């Protein structure tokens, strides 16, 4: 059980009453005994840092032995390392110029690490997919247009073994959302950026495409819809060229949303055994590879995204104004 001293260390900027409420709300809801093979019954949610406007897009960087995560509204990339805590690493993280009228979130959002150890980011403010060398800070735009038109505000991404980048492009980063005069594309798309720079639209049917992740064998792509009308996680079968074919429903979160639980389908991560950690109403929905709900990890607030460390032993949670972690059963 987390002691009050541990919580105070992680939530130092919150009033004691708020800390107590956070402790009471945080925990694991066990729905199926299979969850015990993923999260030990003794595991508890621990809070590591707080005070962010909206924590997002965590990724574990094995070479640096640290976690990177974003605060997109503040345009700051943070680094968390055991013993050091969470500290700004890049500021500004995304848009490098003064924020123009019409941009709501100028910073980076979803993150991944490529085969060379560079940071690949959905840059909401620049409206592009970018590559950042973590040693030099050198920044390069990998893609910022589809068929000659600027993206809306890239939100999340994942990288296939081939080097292809799958990403979503909703309108969250634009101040006026779907009605923004900055929009050039009619769709909020799910895209594939090939290593040669070719961009393919995989699906343009959804209002609020958000989190994306790949199965361990790279044959299934997961997509979360942060849509109050369609709060779902979908899967796409990928062909030999990495293009999407059959689309199926993986997890319907309407019941949790109807209960008024905080959050919407958002970030997704998949572990080496194929278990899916999908954020949604109430917390992280931990699912078996077939979509069966095994349990839910809660922090008391909406959880935007999550990340698994290199050893598979910790799940980091970006939850509204806080960063949290829970131990996993390592392989």
Q: What's residue 293's pLDDT? A: 97
Give SS3 for 15.
Answer: coil
Q: Are the C-beta atoms of residues 135 and 142 closer than 8 Å to each other?
A: no
Say if residue 92 is preceded by a cis peptide, omega within 30 of 0. Answer: yes
| Measured distance CA(113)–CA(132) in Å, rounded | 10
Domain that holds residue 122: 4-327
Give the pair of three-digit tokens for residue 154: 């890239």
pLDDT digits (tens, 9 = 90+) for 106-121: 999 999 999 999 999 9
Number of helices and strands in the chain (H, E): 3, 27
Rounded mean pLDDT, 262-288: 97
Residue 225 pLDDT exceeds 80: yes
Residue 5 pLDDT exceeds 50: no
- Mean pLDDT value across the chain: 92
| Measured distance CA(85)–CA(49) in Å, rounded | 7
Residue 210 pLDDT exceeds 70: yes
For 210-220, give one letter per residue: b (16+ CB within 10 A) or e.
bbbbbeeeeeb
Q: What's residue 25's pLDDT? A: 77
pLDDT digits (tens, 9 = 90+) for 18-75: 433 444 479 999 999 999 999 999 999 999 999 999 999 999 999 999 999 999 999 9
Residue 11 pLDDT exceeds 60: no
Rounded mean pLDDT, 79-102: 95
pTM of the model: 0.92
Rounded mean pLDDT, 153-157: 98
Rounded mean pLDDT, 158-168: 98
Q: Are the C-beta atoms of residues 219 and 237 closer than 8 Å to each other?
A: yes
Rounded mean pLDDT, 254-282: 97
In eight-state DSSP terms, residue 194 is -
What CATH number is given to the structural domain containing 55?
2.120.10.30
Please tell me the total count of domains within the chain: 1
Q: How far is CA 32 from CA 254, 256, 296, in A?
A: 20, 17, 10
Give the pair of three-digit tokens for residue 299: 């922090």
Cross-strand pairs, 68: 59, 79
Give the pair of three-digit tokens for residue 194: 């090939």
- Confidence band of 17 (pLDDT split at 50, 70, 90): very low
């Amino acid at each position: 059980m987390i002691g009050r001293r541990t919580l105070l260390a992680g939530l130092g900027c919150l009033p004691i009453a708020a800390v107590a409420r956070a402790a009471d709300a945080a925990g694991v809801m066990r729905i199926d005994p299979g969850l015990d093979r993923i999260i030990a019954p003794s595991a508890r949610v621990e809070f590591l840092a707080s005070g962010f406007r909206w924590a997002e897009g965590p990724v574990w960087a094995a070479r640096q032995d640290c976690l990177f995560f974003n605060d997109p509204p503040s345009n700051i990339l943070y680094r968390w390392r055991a013993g050091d805590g969470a500290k700004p690493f890049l500021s500004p993280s995304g848009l490098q110029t003064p924020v123009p009228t019409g941009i709501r979130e100028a910073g980076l959002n979803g993150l991944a690490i490529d085969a060379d150890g560079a940071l690949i980011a959905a840059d909401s403010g620049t409206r592009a997919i970018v590559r950042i060398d973590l040693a030099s800070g050198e920044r390069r735009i990998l893609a910022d247009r589809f068929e000659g038109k600027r993206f809306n505000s890239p939100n999340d991404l994942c990288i296939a073994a081939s080097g292809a980048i799958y990403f979503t492009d909703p309108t969250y980063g634009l101040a006026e959302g779907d009605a923004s005069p900055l929009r050039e594309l009619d769709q909020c798309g799910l895209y594939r950026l090939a290593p040669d720079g070719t961009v393919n639209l995989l699906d343009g049917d959804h209002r609020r495409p958000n989190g994306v992740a790949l199965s361990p064998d790279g044959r299934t792509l997961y997509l979360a819809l942060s849509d109050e009308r369609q709060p779902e996680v979908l899967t796409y079968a990928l062909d030999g060229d990495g293009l999407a074919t059959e689309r199926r429903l993986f997890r319907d979160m309407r019941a949790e949303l109807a209960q008024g639980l905080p959050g919407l389908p958002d970030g997704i991560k998949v572990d080496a055994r194929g278990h899916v950690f999908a954020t949604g109403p109430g917390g992280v929905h931990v699912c078996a590879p077939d979509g069966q709900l095994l349990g839910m990890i809660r922090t008391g607030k909406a959880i935007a995204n999550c990340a698994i460390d290199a050893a598979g032993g910790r799940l980091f949670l970006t939850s509204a104004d806080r960063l949290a972690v829970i131990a996993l059963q390592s392989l």
